[in-house]
Amino acid sequence: MGLKLKSAIISGFRGFNPEVKIDFNAPVVVLYGENATGKSSTLNAIEWCLFGSSEVVGEKNTGIRERIDWEIINRNAEKCYVEVELEKDGQVYNIRREKSNGRDNIYIRFSDGGKIEGKKAQEEINKLIGNFSFRDFMTCIYQHQEVIRYILTEEPRKRDEALDRLFGFSDYRNISEAIKKFSPKGDELEKKIDEIKSWINSRIDALNEIIKRRKEELSKKGLSRVDEKERISIAKQIKKLIEDFCSEIGADLSEKFSKIDLEQKEFVDVAEEEIRRLRKLIPEERKLNELVRRKTKINHYIDEYDDLNKKRSEVKRKIDKFVRENGDDKKIKEKVKQIEQTIEALEDQKEVMNLYALIIEKVMLYLESVEDKDICPVCGTRKKGLLIQLKKQWEKEHKEKFEKINKEIDSLKKELKDKERLLKDYERLIDDWKRADEGFRKYVNKIRVDEKISEREDVRRKLEKILSELESEIERLKKSTSEKTARIEEIEEKIKLCKDIDEILKDIALREKIRDIVRTQEWKKLKELSDDFKKFVDDVERIRDAILRATKDGVDEIISNAGEKISEFFGEITSHPKIKKIKIKVEQNLRSGGNQYKFYDENDENLLPVLSQGNFNSLAISIFLAMSGMTGQKMPFDFIMLDDPSQSLGFQEKVGLIKILDIIAKEKDIIIATMDSELLDEIKKMSSEKKIYKFYKWTPEKGPEINEEIVS
Amino acid sequence: MDLKERVNKMLEDEETKQLWEEIYLAFEDGGINGIEKLLIRKVEEIKNEFEEIKSEIDKKIKGK
């Protein structure tokens, strides 16, 4: 006998809030109600009470995607608890699991009043259910509605995956999928080693080329042998030459050079430094350097003198041109004065004319106001047509003369402005001249002071004379130092030779060092790591292969034990007129490596193309029912739980399912959660004793209302 | 026979069995992510050591 489920007390768990007690003391118990009224929560509560949050929450163990964000405690409750009463061989076990503040706690009460909790309680439960794991519970005791839904998928690969899970191989699937995602190439590091090898070879080739070219260059200079011995021999010659040169010019060897060992790498650099020092110590060379510096200075004086003088001359030329074209400032000023006087005379003339005009105007006004317009009011003489004559005279003489004088004045004023502008231009030119002349004179004075040139002498000529003397002296000195310079150059040539040999020897040493890399411990370690990597990747692949083979073997084993039963149940449930039996065969999918399920009828005809959604639903239920009653499988529970088993079943298929359940109910208690009224009607027809709970009016605060329906 | 034992029996090499043990434990502790982390960590360990030595060799080839 296994454990029978007697009752469940639920509070604060998922869809439940206030405490609810449900009795399961009948062979068939139906939880009936619309969607989301707490039916599945009831089955989940039993599952959670027995196995705890670490097993039932999340996708990891369940393989159910909907459980990723599962919340155990109802949002309107602070804690939750579920207590299930199990009975076996007259002994009653009240298992209670509580959750608050993120922690699970578990208790067991026994018939004799004894109570244990925590780890001990969990150990007692494990003892009670033997080695029956949560995965076994999912496969054989509790048929989850999501698993049937996954089987009904159109996609073959996903259906195969769901079937693996239905057969209890969800862990196999999950691990195999996780390993498959990891896909480095085993020879990745080996390829990198090959790259390094090829780099080593190309580097050696390049160095060979450089060494060859340098040797050829040295050979052209008469050096046939390039080795350390030859290099030391040349270094010795350099040392001797430098020592001789020092004594010749009466200088001492520097401390650094006298101490340097010929074999030292730095010998060449120290010798070069010594030559630079000695060159400066040659007396003629020193004098020569001074003369060259002086020559540069004189040349600079001449250039600057010429430049300033040129600027001054240009200003002078501009002034001359201006005077030629416009006269000098004196002339312009005279002209200005003359224009101003003319304007003044014309203005006087205009004033006199104005007085005369005023008289005529008044006479005309008077004549216009009197009747006799022929008598002059000034002299009293009578003149016929006097007013008309005066008007004509006014128009002709005064107006015309006025306009002429005004025009003349305007023209003179314009001319006056031009002359004033010219005066300003002239002043500007004079300023420029003063500046240029002053700059030039200052510079000439500076040269006179620096070069001690008297006021009587012409600076430019004097500078040219100095320059000519300097050049002669430089030429003379150059001739006298040429012998010593040739000696220095000879030593420098030797140093260059020594330097070239050093470079070649350095390249040869580097080439040997690179050749030796493949013989070093580092290289060995690199190879070891590459082998380790390859083995690791192969091992991972071997493990995946073993998992896939184990899955296939496992499914084969189940099919060989329960295949007949699955086929029998399937034949009973399915309404397909031609399919009365089903044979399941498992093959390894060559592409994914996973299991591939194939279905055949009794004549070995492939059924896959003709199986409907209802057929797949029947198959899923058949597999579950067969697994739950599998011979050889020790079942610690004497009940099974089916959640929405008729999702895609047709009426005839529901009738078939109920027929099988009626048989199973004689051995095991059955709890069915459903919203299917057709299925409920069929359940009511079952011969087994049954209890029906109706779930309705669910709210998040109060959970479901549950009423027991009396079944006759 | 459970998964761990079933797969273990199919493996021959002791090192492979040891790795399987680690993979299984990683799955129990952290599910699929746990396996991914374990495999990536193991690969990185080898690769990092490899890269360190490689960079030393690179320096030698460059003559540094």
Would you say residue A530 has pLDDT above 80? yes
Which residues in chain A have their CB less than 8 angstroms from residue B25's CB? Answer: none
Given a contact cutoff of 8 angstroms between Cβ atoms, the answer to whether B39 and B27 are in contact is no
Answer yes or no: pTM beyond 0.80: no
- Residue A235: helix, strand or coil by DSSP? helix
- Residue A385: helix, strand or coil by DSSP? coil
Whether B16 sits inside 8 A of A517 (CB atoms) is no
| ipTM value for the complex | 0.96
- Helix or strand run (H / E) with residue A170: helix A170-181
Amino acid at A562: A
Which residues in chain A have their CB less than 8 angstroms from residue B2's CB? Answer: 133
CA distance B63 to chain A (A): 6
How far apart, in whole angstroms, are the C-alpha atoms of residue A157 and residue A163?
A: 10
How far apart, in whole angstroms, are the C-alpha atoms of residue A695 and residue A707?
A: 7
- Residue A675: helix, strand or coil by DSSP? coil
Of B2, B11, B39, the CB nearest to A546: B11
CA distance B25 to chain A (A): 11
Which residues in chain B have their CB less than 8 angstroms from residue A199's CB? Answer: 61
Given a contact cutoff of 8 angstroms between Cβ atoms, the answer to whether A426 and A332 are in contact is yes
CA distance B10 to chain A (A): 6
Would you say residue A512 has pLDDT above 90? yes
Q: Which two tokens stand for residue A529?
A: 């790591």
- From residue A123, alpha-carbon distances to A107, A128, A142 in Å are 11, 9, 22
The predicted-structure confidence for A403-447, as pLDDT tens digits, reads as follows 889 999 999 999 999 999 999 999 999 999 999 999 999 999 999
Whether A540 sits inside 8 A of B57 (CB atoms) is no
The predicted-structure confidence for A327-369, as pLDDT tens digits, reads as follows 999 999 999 999 999 999 999 988 888 888 888 888 888 888 8
Class of domain A156-183+541-634: alpha beta
- Over residues A3-17, the mean pLDDT reads 94
Q: Which two tokens stand for residue B20?
A: 């399987």
Note the residue count of chain B. Answer: 64
Would you say residue B56 has pLDDT above 70? yes
| CA-based nearest residue in chain B for residue A527 | B50
Instruction: Dump strand ranges (E) for A64-119.
Output: 79-88, 91-100, 103-110, 115-117
Which residues in chain B have their CB less than 8 angstroms from residue A517's CB? Answer: 57, 60-61
| CA-based nearest residue in chain B for residue A188 | B47
- Helix or strand run (H / E) with residue A193: helix A188-220
Which residues in chain A have their CB less than 8 angstroms from residue B53's CB? Answer: 522, 525-526, 529
- From residue A275, alpha-carbon distances to A242, A271, A280 in Å are 8, 6, 9
Report the 10 Å Cβ neighbour count for A683. Answer: 24
So what's the pLDDT on residue A591? Answer: 72
Whether B46 sits inside 8 A of A199 (CB atoms) is no
Whether A526 sits inside 8 A of B57 (CB atoms) is yes
Closest CA to A548 of B51, B6, B36, B46: B6
A34: left (phi over 0), alpha (psi -120 to 50) or beta: beta
So what's the pLDDT on residue A536? Answer: 94
Closest CA to A137 of A657, A563, A627, A565: A627
- Helix or strand run (H / E) with residue A56: helix A53-56
B20 shares contact with chain A (CB less than 8 Å):
yes
Whether A526 sits inside 8 A of B47 (CB atoms) is no
Q: Which two tokens stand for residue A603?
A: 């004549």
Of B2, B46, B57, the CB nearest to A522: B57
So what's the pLDDT on residue A131? Answer: 60
Amino acid at A82: V
pLDDT confidence band for A61 (50 / 70 / 90)? low
Return mean pLDDT, chain A. 89
Instruction: Tell how strand A4-11 and strand A20-23 pair up.
Output: antiparallel
- The number of angstroms, rounded, from the C-alpha of A441 to the middle of its chain's C-alpha atoms is 69
- Over residues A217-238, the mean pLDDT reads 91
Higher-scoring residue by pLDDT: A523, A249: A523
Whether B36 sits inside 8 A of A181 (CB atoms) is yes
So what's the pLDDT on residue A134? Answer: 79
How far apart, in whole angstroms, are the C-alpha atoms of residue A642 and residue A669?
A: 11
- Over residues A14-38, the mean pLDDT reads 94
A118-132, A282-296, A635-649, range with the lowest pLDDT: A118-132
- From residue A579, alpha-carbon distances to A154, A213, A540, A563, A604 in Å are 20, 87, 42, 15, 11
Which residues in chain B have their CB less than 8 angstroms from residue A510's CB? Answer: 63
CA distance B61 to chain A (A): 6
- From residue A595, alpha-carbon distances to A40, A400, A522 in Å are 30, 127, 45
- Residue A78: helix, strand or coil by DSSP? coil
Count CA atoms closer than 13 A to B41's CA, side-chain side: 10
Of A182, A514, A542, the CB nearest to B39: A182
Q: Which residues contact A573 (CB under 8 A, 6 or more apart)?
A: A618, A621, A622, A649, A653, A656, A657, A660
| CA-based nearest residue in chain B for residue A203 | B61
How far apart, in whole angstroms, are the C-alpha atoms of residue A642 and residue A668?
A: 13
So what's the pLDDT on residue A631? Answer: 47
Would you say residue A633 has pLDDT above 60? no
Interface of B with A in 39-58 (CB under 8 A): 39-40, 42-43, 46-47, 49-50, 53-54, 56-58
- Helix or strand run (H / E) with residue A363: helix A329-369
Q: Which residues contact A500 (CB under 8 A, 6 or more apart)?
A: A214, A217, A218
Highest mean predicted confidence (pLDDT) among A19-23, A136-140, A598-602: A19-23
Whether A60 sits inside 8 A of B43 (CB atoms) is no
Domain boundaries along the sequence of chain B: 3-62
C-alpha dihedral, A194 to A195 to A200 to A202, nearest 10°: 120
| CA-based nearest residue in chain B for residue A192 | B54
A194-198, A368-372, A513-517, range with the lowest pLDDT: A368-372
Which of A542, A548, A551, A561 best probes binding to B when mutated, by most B CB atoms within 10 angstroms?
A: A542
A676: left (phi over 0), alpha (psi -120 to 50) or beta: beta
Whether A533 sits inside 8 A of B50 (CB atoms) is yes
The predicted-structure confidence for A485-503, as pLDDT tens digits, reads as follows 888 989 999 999 999 999 9
Whether B35 sits inside 8 A of A529 (CB atoms) is no
Would you say residue B60 has pLDDT above 90? no
Q: Which two tokens stand for residue B13?
A: 């090499």
A147-151, A230-234, A337-341, B42-46, range with the lowest pLDDT: A147-151
Of B10, B15, B36, the CB nearest to A546: B10
How far apart, in whole angstroms, are the C-alpha atoms of residue A148 and residue A136?
A: 17
Whether B54 sits inside 8 A of A526 (CB atoms) is yes
The predicted-structure confidence for B21-46, as pLDDT tens digits, reads as follows 999 999 888 778 889 999 999 999 99
| CA-based nearest residue in chain A for residue B56 | A522
pLDDT confidence band for B1 (50 / 70 / 90)? low
B31 shares contact with chain A (CB less than 8 Å):
yes
Please give the backbone phi and psi of residue A669, each rounded to the nearest 5 degrees, phi first: -75, 145
Amino acid at A405: I
How far apart, in whole angstroms, are the C-alpha atoms of residue A522 and residue A506?
A: 23
For chain A, the first-to-last Cα distance in angstroms comes to 29
- Over residues A677-698, the mean pLDDT reads 94
Q: Which two tokens stand for residue A4?
A: 């029978």
Closest CA to B2 of B31, B26, B36, B28: B28
Would you say residue A505 has pLDDT above 70? yes
Which residues in chain B have their CB less than 8 angstroms from residue A132's CB? Answer: none
How far apart, in whole angstroms, are the C-alpha atoms of residue A457 and residue A471?
A: 21
The CATH fold of domain A327-452: Helix Hairpins (1.10.287)
CA distance B55 to chain A (A): 10
To the nearest whole percent, how much of chain A has pLDDT over 70?
97
Q: Which two tokens stand for residue A8?
A: 């469940």
| DSSP, residue by residue, A306-339 | HHHHHHHHHHHHHHHHHHHHH--HHHHHHHHHHH
How far apart, in whole angstroms, are the C-alpha atoms of residue A51 and residue A41?
A: 15
- Over residues A366-395, the mean pLDDT reads 84
So what's the pLDDT on residue A207? Answer: 94
Q: Which residues contact A55 (CB under 8 A, 6 or more apart)?
A: A61, A134
Which of B54, B62, B64 best probes binding to A when mutated, by most A CB atoms within 10 angstroms?
A: B54
Given a contact cutoff of 8 angstroms between Cβ atoms, the answer to whether A37 and A696 are in contact is yes
Which residues in chain A have their CB less than 8 angstroms from residue B48's CB? Answer: none
- Residue A382 is classified by DSSP as B
How far apart, in whole angstroms, are the C-alpha atoms of residue A93 and residue A8?
A: 12
Whether A178 sits inside 8 A of B7 (CB atoms) is no
| CA-based nearest residue in chain B for residue A543 | B20
Residue with tokens 């091992």: A539
- Over residues A127-133, the mean pLDDT reads 75
> Apex CA A237: angle with CA A236 and CA A241, to 5°?
120
Domain boundaries along the sequence of chain A: 156-183+541-634, 193-285+473-517, 327-452
So what's the pLDDT on residue A281? Answer: 84
So what's the pLDDT on residue A167? Answer: 81
Amino acid at A23: D
